[in-house]
Structure 1
């Protein structure tokens, strides 16, 4: 097993989860939220640095304390959210639980969470982390092209997560996302076909652009994957969820933490971060490198040909995830759907899953 980093559990104050940005940056609320870091000292000033609004809101800020301390932080949660967005609260709870329960036992580079505020009844949460940018980290853009060597470094981080999958034995709260996707009903076949008929589906074959085929493929993949050894996987490891430090790459955004086959993470990751030609040229070597990493962590893995077949099938997961995505910048959706769709074509993933 890998050597485990020493990482403390975040403070978990029993206070209300803020619903607005103003509430989150209120000095009185922050005094309670950050008391595990400040020793209980009162927050006397808050300086907003940056607000990033996607589905969840990330707000970077500096806080000055009465005892003379000053810290740079990043708070993430569903702030000023409409009713539809607020229904995503369980993913924020999942992320907070990652930092509270998983991060302390995983030997990988992730943000240092200092506080998680969770309302389990309402299924809402916020996580307060140290501000990585203030510490010199650089976040990758979702559209940043990786080189094969970049991908090798990020695969190393994923392998360290996967290697701690014995944690799943007592973690029923980490669920199989592929199976949930296969059963969801909020995106109908007609809605999915309309999405695939738009720019995101351009350049893909009629077979791969078919919503009916894709829905059948994710169902078939979920069934096969559920019968294989289950790993603790990130579930959304595209370039936008990777950051760089002087010590190497790190991983953020744990809202899709899940259990599933290792190949779901690896196939999605490589085909999302690498341009199509780079993926085609390097994915087999990178897969072999990943398998070697896992064996180095003491984990039994399938042989090369069996692993390759699982990888080729698993590309469908990422393709489906981005095909149904709507609340992300269109250029990002188009790039990921096309990259992953091209991989589905290249690997005949539908054919491997019995979809003709």
Structure 2
């Protein structure tokens, strides 16, 4: 809907006149007569659950966007456009369980977008919390969803707009090395070895991983597969938050997911079996996974990706950052990922 302005505030997003136009694909364009706010969840992006009343019915919905943010956070606008494009262009063709999208509004010139979805909670679903510890069986179920995504190389081939975000992250100066070292020397790096906490090694590891990943079969990759981006329904788990959607190797998703959702001692015990489960699922969906030993080597290198993401993170609750840096850093340590990457 290029003619419809993307809301920049919560008040604009819940305006009945604006929603009348935004919800036209759902309502046929009849006026929205009332809007009841159910819940506002504000992290980096804002998710607002609301009920829209219009002639002929009501709808329980959730709108996601960068609302009431400062100029620095508004620079993340392109990621909201990417997420809207996922729901518009890819989700209808995937077997991955995602919220039902009823509309997107995008401004590509001053990049910003919002997504309006059916309210998963009103439908009986539940969103996992970021620090929710999974069982091995729960991790296997969410790995099945990642396999459904990763296997669709046909969709990736037809989607040149899906970029190699790992390469962009590896090149970017998101956090200067001295500041990153200071952060890793603080509470987030507590308990990790000096080598794992070495900021220069981490940055070099990310560059080396990105270079190796470029030469692997490229797949659709979620890119941020921690527990906070999983929801549960009676039919099984699903995936949300597509702002780091990218093309890359399957291990970026799998190594990140296993290390992030499982307590360290469970990951140590279960990860090889979970990797084998993923490879079997991927093969069963028609994919051609590498042989088990090659896959194990790729998996052991890949934790550097998730560890880097959380090491540079600043605008999230420190308690969450510390747990993820600890879990992912422990994975980098036990797999000697830096050495495998030639460092």
Q: Secondary structure at the match of 1:204?
A: coil
Residue 45 of structure 1 pairs with residue 34 of structure 2: yes
Residue 264 of structure 1 is matched in structure 2 by 252
Residue 7 of structure 2 is matched in structure 1 by 18
1:161-191 deviation line (CA, Å, top 9, x unaligned): 0111221212121111111111001311011
Residue 29 of structure 1 pairs with residue 32 of structure 2: no
Residue 157 of structure 2 is matched in structure 1 by 169
Q: Measure the CA separation in 1 of the matches of 2:50 and 2:333.
A: 45
Q: How far apart are residue 90 of structure 1 and its match?
A: 0.3
Residue 76 of structure 2 is matched in structure 1 by 88
Question: What stretches of structure 2 of length at least 5 have no aligned partner?
Answer: none
Q: Measure the CA separation in 2 of the matches of 1:165 and 1:269.
A: 20
Q: Secondary structure at the match of 1:109?
A: coil
Q: Secondary structure at the match of 1:220?
A: helix
Q: Secondary structure at the match of 1:142?
A: coil
Question: What stretches of structure 1 of length at least 5 have no aligned partner?
Answer: 1-11
Q: Secondary structure at the match of 2:302?
A: helix
Q: Secondary structure at the match of 1:235?
A: coil
The answer to whether the 8 A contact 1:13-1:33 is kept is no
Q: How far apart are residue 40 of structure 1 and its match?
A: 1.3
Structure 1 segment 281-300 matched on structure 2, within 5 A: 281-300=269-288
Name which of structure 1's ranges 91-100 and 181-190 shifts more when overlaid on structure 2.
Answer: 181-190
Residue 326 of structure 1 is matched in structure 2 by 314
Q: Measure the CA separation in 2 of the matches of 1:230 and 1:265.
A: 12
Structure 1 segment 1-356 matched on structure 2, within 5 A: 12=1, 14-65=3-54, 67-355=55-343
Q: Measure the CA separation in 2 of the matches of 1:298 and 1:243.
A: 26
Pairs aligned (count): 343
1:134-185 deviation line (CA, Å, top 9, x unaligned): 1110110111000000000000000000111221212121111111111001
Q: Measure the CA separation in 2 of the matches of 1:164 and 1:115.
A: 24
Cα RMSD of the aligned pairs, angstroms, is 0.8
Q: How far apart are residue 13 of structure 1 and its match?
A: 6.4
Q: Measure the CA separation in 1 of the matches of 2:51 and 2:341.
A: 51
Q: Measure the CA separation in 1 of the matches of 2:88 and 2:312.
A: 30
Runs of 4+ aligned residues of structure 1 deviating over 6 Å after TM superposition are: none
Q: Measure the CA separation in 2 of the matches of 1:186 and 1:205.
A: 23
Q: TM-score, normalised by structure 1?
A: 0.95
The answer to whether the 8 A contact 1:238-1:273 is kept is yes
Q: Measure the CA separation in 2 of the matches of 1:238 and 1:147.
A: 14
Q: Measure the CA separation in 2 of the matches of 1:185 and 1:347.
A: 26
The answer to whether the 8 A contact 2:132-2:227 is kept is yes
1:74-112 deviation line (CA, Å, top 9, x unaligned): 000011111001000000000000000010000011000
Q: Measure the CA separation in 1 of the matches of 2:173 and 2:154.
A: 32
Q: TM-score, normalised by structure 2?
A: 0.99
